[in-house]
Amino acid sequence: MTFTVAIDGPAAAGKGTISKAVAAHFGFAHLDTGLLYRAVGRRTLEGEAAETAARDLRTEDLERDDLRTAQVAQAASKVAVIAEVRAALVDFQRAFARRAGGAVLDGRDIGTVICPEAEVKLFVTASAEVRAERRYLELTAKGQDTTRAAVLADVRERDARDADRATAPMKPAEDAVLLDTSTMDIPTALAAAIAEIERKM
C-alpha cells in the first residue's frame, strides 16, 4: 500500500510536530524535507557550490546534529530558490513518498510540486508573531543566544523568500486543508489532521 500525506507551511507553524505525531499514529514513515535544504545550505557555508552539494547529498548529511541553527536555516532558504538544487532533490522525495506502508512528507511544496497526487494535503500555518515566539522559546531552550526581535525578523525574511521565489513557492495546494495553529492549539490541529487522514483512507 502507498499512501502519501503532504504537510506544507511556513517555519514554526507546528508542521514538524504534527507530521511526526501523524506518522507515529498511523505507522507511516516521515521525511522532514527541510533537512534536505538545510544539509545543502550547510555545505555551502563550508564553501561548496549549492548545485554540487544537492547532487551529491548523502543520507549521512541529513543526520548531522548541526542542521537546526538559524544560520543554517537562512542558508537553506537561499539555496532553496535555485531551480537546479530543487530539481536534484525531487527523485529522493518522490521515492520516499511512494514507499510501502505510507509516508508523511513535510515542507513547502510537497502538495503543489513534489506530490500533487498525495491522498491528503494539509497546509499548517500561524501568524508570524506566534511562530516567532515558538521558535524563540525553542532556540533559547537549546541554549542559543538570540532575541525575540531577531527571531521575528528571521521568520519574516524566510517567509518572504519562500513565498516569493519563482520555483516552487510556498503556497497551499488548491485542494489542501488549512490548519491555522495561531487560533488552534497543536493537539486540536493534530486531531483535525488525523480525522482528515482517516476520512481519505
Residues of the binding site: 9-17
Q: Is 131 in the site for ligand C5P (CB under 6 A)?
A: no
- Residues in contact with ligand C5P, counted by CB under 6 A, come to a total of 15
Identity of the residue, 82 or 198, whose beta carbon is nearer to ligand C5P in the bound complex: 82
Identity of the residue, 1 or 46, whose beta carbon is nearer to ligand C5P in the bound complex: 46
Q: Is 11 in the site for ligand C5P (CB under 6 A)?
A: yes
Q: Is 76 in the site for ligand C5P (CB under 6 A)?
A: yes
Q: Is 109 in the site for ligand C5P (CB under 6 A)?
A: yes
Which member of 3, 28, 37, 136 binds ligand C5P (CB under 6 A)? 37
Q: Is 80 in the site for ligand C5P (CB under 6 A)?
A: yes
| C-alpha pair distances (Å), 163 with each of 49, 111, 144, 175 | 23, 15, 27, 18
Identity of the residue, 71 or 183, whose beta carbon is nearer to ligand C5P in the bound complex: 71
Please count the CA atoms within 13 angstroms of the CA of 68 that sit on its side-chain side: 15
Q: Is 108 in the site for ligand C5P (CB under 6 A)?
A: yes
Q: Which stretch binds ligand C5P (CB under 6 A): 20-28, 44-52, 103-111, 146-154?
A: 103-111
- Chain Cα centroid distance, residue 46: 23
Identity of the residue, 28 or 37, whose beta carbon is nearer to ligand C5P in the bound complex: 37
d(CA 130, CA 123): 16
Contacts of ligand C5P in 152-181 (CB under 6 A)? 158, 162
Identity of the residue, 109 or 124, whose beta carbon is nearer to ligand C5P in the bound complex: 109
d(CA 2, CA 4): 7
| Interaction site with ligand C5P (CB under 6 A) | 11, 33-34, 37-38, 73, 76-77, 80, 107-110, 158, 162
